[in-house]
Amino acid sequence: MSTRERVAELHEIRERIRQGPGDKATEAQHAKGKLTVRERIGLLLDEGSFHEVEPFRRHRAQGFGLEAKRPYTDGVITGWGTVHGRTVFVYAHDFRIFGGALGEAHAQKIHKIMDMAIAAGAPLVSLNDGAGARIQEGVTALAGYGGIFRRNTDASGVIPQISVMLGPCAGGAAYSPALTDFVFMVRETSQMFVTGPDVVQAVTGEKISQNGLGGADVHSSVSGVAHFVHDDERSCLEEVRYLLSLLPQNNREEPPARSADDPVERRNDSLLDLVPADGNRPYDMREVIEEVVDDGEYLEVGERWATNVICALARVDGHVVALIANQPQSLAGVLDIDASAKAGRFVQTCDAFNIPLITLLDVPGFLPGVDQEHGGIIRHGAKLLYAYCAATVPRISLILRKAYGGAYIVMDSRSIGADLAYAWPTNEIAVMGAEGAANVIFRREITGAEDPEAMRAQRIKEYRSELMHPYYGAERGLVDDIIDPADTRAVLAAGLAMLRAKHAELPSRKHGNQPM
């Protein structure tokens, strides 16, 4: 066979690989409302940028009929391309081949692309649509998952890892997405669970659907496993591209900056009316964020879970920042178990990838209750505290209204290492609210008074005027400046610019021991 004939054969095989297992399998994929693996990669990466790795790979397994079925790619497409011109590595299950199930060759392809991503210092995106371990290959399939998990851990905090759930993910396979930085899910078509509905019913007697057990809405609002949820794959993959535009390539680089059309000195006069001075009146903290960041654009992470705290990525003066904020519209903005875990993980992720932290405080404390105490609010709250204390990126905190008790300390107070601490003239920094404090300090006096209510009101007023006035913290150096709310954007931008060259030395140790 001549060279030309060999080349013609090569192109013929390549075309068969590109087409996949056939029109019938493709139609079945589309009938489920799902795109094919190459359609997904085409939406994720810049047009024409994909370079495939090991398209000719085939399994070598014997038995159970596998030797008669050896398709190219072995059910997973791997390679690299660009997103907004920057290198991104990707692996994507092809559900049309073995249901996307993982076998030895399949796993080795994933291992190779993960190693390449770590070596190249570029983000890794997994497009998950697989039926778990390939049962016919036995324990070698399980070992393949172990190799993925180990590499997920090696890459943690080194390169951004994003898992996009576009189909089923069951059993041990679900732990790879859990080890990554961000998880996306699509409603109706993606599910994640360790034990499926049939096993749950057999063991517990509970009858539940796949989506009811591990669908996108469950994991985005109940379990907190999924950070983003979408109605369709196209919008999901577009948001993955947007997220990548806010992240650095690796932990040795800064997030990508861009020129800002939104003036840094733009005044925020609307904030004077948006946030009520009365600490008991709610407002939407998202409107504060929109007013402060460039062009009002931000990407909220975990929007539907632990809604009493907001975690978001945005830009200020063209530079990427992370915002952690209490949300007075939900549980009055208190910290609870879920909010502490959510914010703590977000702080760690942003610190790992050199994203400065802006914390907006309006927190009345930790949520009281037996369920919270028995559920471990102490150790979960400590996760957020630990994350802030360990963070070495620029850190700016701003107190809008309430900053009470331990929750004030935990939310990046000056005492735990915030580089700059600002406050509005509506701030109240205290151990607790004036009403509760007066009831504790003056209990006997109030009880013994001829008019207890009048005495209580008098003592509350005295406590507030002496220990909770807006300048109390600033007078003691706990706040660097009291600022006009209208100047918030300009003040934050100036602080971030000053801190851009910050360098913090970490103590010499193998690693810290984070709260359990």
Which pLDDT belongs to residue 41?
A: 97
Residue 187 half-sphere exposure toward CB, CA atoms < 13 A:
8
| Beta carbons within 10 angstroms of residue 268's beta carbon | 18
User: Which H helix or E strand runs over 83?
Assistant: strand 76-83
pLDDT tens per residue across span 453-504: 877 777 777 777 776 788 888 888 999 999 999 999 999 999 999 999 998 8
Separation between Cα atoms, residue 338 and residue 302, nearest integer Å:
11
Side chain identity, residue 99: G
The per-residue pLDDT for range 203-226, each reduced to its tens digit, is: 888 899 989 999 999 999 999 999
How would you classify the pairing of strands 191-193 and 182-186?
unpaired
Query: What is the pLDDT averaged over residues 221-245?
Result: 97
Q: Is 415:444 a contact under the CB 8 Å cutoff?
A: no
Neighbours of 83 (CB within 10 A): 21
Active site residue 172: yes
Q: What local confidence, expressed as pLDDT, does residue 74 receive?
A: 82
pTM metric for this prediction: 0.93
Instruction: List alpha helices for 246-284, DSSP H.
Output: 271-274
What backbone phi and psi angles, to 5 degrees, belong to 24? -60, -45
Max CA separation in the chain (angstroms):
110
Using a CB cutoff of 8 Å and minimum separation of 24, what contacts does 261-267 make? 261/295, 262/294, 262/295, 264/316, 264/317, 264/489, 264/490, 264/493, 264/494, 265/489, 265/490, 266/489, 266/490, 267/486, 267/487, 267/489, 267/490
Q: Is 212 a catalytic residue?
A: no
CA-wise closest residue to 80 among 54, 111, 49: 49
Q: Does residue 388 contact residue 361 with C-beta atoms inside 8 Å? A: no
Quickly state the pLDDT bin for 438 (edges 50, 70, 90). Answer: low
Question: Contact at 8 Å (CB) between 152 and 179?
Answer: yes
Say what the pLDDT of residue 256 is: 97
Segment 33-50 shows an average pLDDT of: 96
Q: Is 438 exposed, middle or buried (0-12, 13-18, 19+ CB in 10 A)?
A: buried
Say yes or no to pLDDT of 131 above 80.
no
Residues 98/68, Cβ–Cβ less than 8 Å: no
CA atoms within 13 A on the CB side of 66: 18
- CA-wise closest residue to 141 among 195, 102, 100, 97: 102
What's the rounded mean pLDDT across residues 412-425?
A: 96
For residue 511, what pLDDT is reported? 86
pLDDT digits (tens, 9 = 90+) for 153-165: 999 999 999 999 9
Rounded CA gap, 71 and 101, in Å? 13
Cα separation of 380 and 376, whole Å?
6
Phi, psi values for residue 378, rounded to 5°:
-65, -50
Select which of 138, 172, 196, 224 is catalytic.
172
Q: How confident is the model at residue 77 (pLDDT cuts 50, 70, 90)?
A: very high
Burial 33-55 (b: 16+ CB within 10 A, else e): ebbbbbbbbbbbbeeebbebebe
Q: Is the model's pLDDT at 379 over the cut of 90?
A: yes
138, 171, 224, 318: which one is catalytic? 171
Q: Which residues contact 292 (CB under 8 A, 6 or more apart)?
A: 268, 316, 488, 489, 492
Whole-angstrom distance, CA of residue 459 vs CA of residue 288: 34
- Annotated catalytic residue 406: yes
* Nearest one of 48, 115, 124 to 91, comparing CA atoms: 124
Instruction: For residue 90, name the pLDDT band (cuts at 50, 70, 90).
Output: very high
Q: How far is it, in rounded angstroms, from Cα 362 to Cα 412?
A: 12
What tokens does 116 get?
Answer: 């390449």
Residues ≥6 apart with Cβ < 8 Å to 132: 101, 102, 168, 169, 170, 171, 172, 173
The pLDDT, as a whole number, for residue 173 is: 84
Q: Beginning with the edge strand found earlier in the chain, give each strand of the sheet holding 124-128 in spatial order.
A: 51-53, 76-83, 86-93, 124-128, 161-165, 182-186, 228-230
- φ/ψ (deg, to 5) at 417: 115, 10
Residue 68 has pLDDT above 70, yes or no: no
Residue 448 has a pLDDT of 76
Instruction: Identify the structural domains of the chain with CATH numbers, from first to last.
Output: 3-245 (3.90.226.10), 270-427+470-499 (3.90.226.10), 432-469 (no CATH)
Among 99, 138, 147, 406, the one annotated catalytic: 406
DSSP string across 88-102: EEEEEE-TTTGGG-B
Decide if pLDDT at 60 tops 90.
no
pLDDT at residue 65 in the model? 67
Q: What is the pLDDT of residue 97?
A: 86
Mean of all residue pLDDT scores within the chain = 92
**How many whole angstroms separate alpha carbon 410 and alpha carbon 388?**
8
Q: Given pLDDT bands bounded at 50, 70 and 90, which one contains residue 29?
A: very high
% pLDDT > 90, the chain: 68
141: pLDDT confidence band, cut at 50, 70 and 90? confident
Of the listed 117, 339, 407, 474, which one is catalytic? 407
Q: Please say whether the beta carbons of 480 and 489 come within 8 A.
A: no
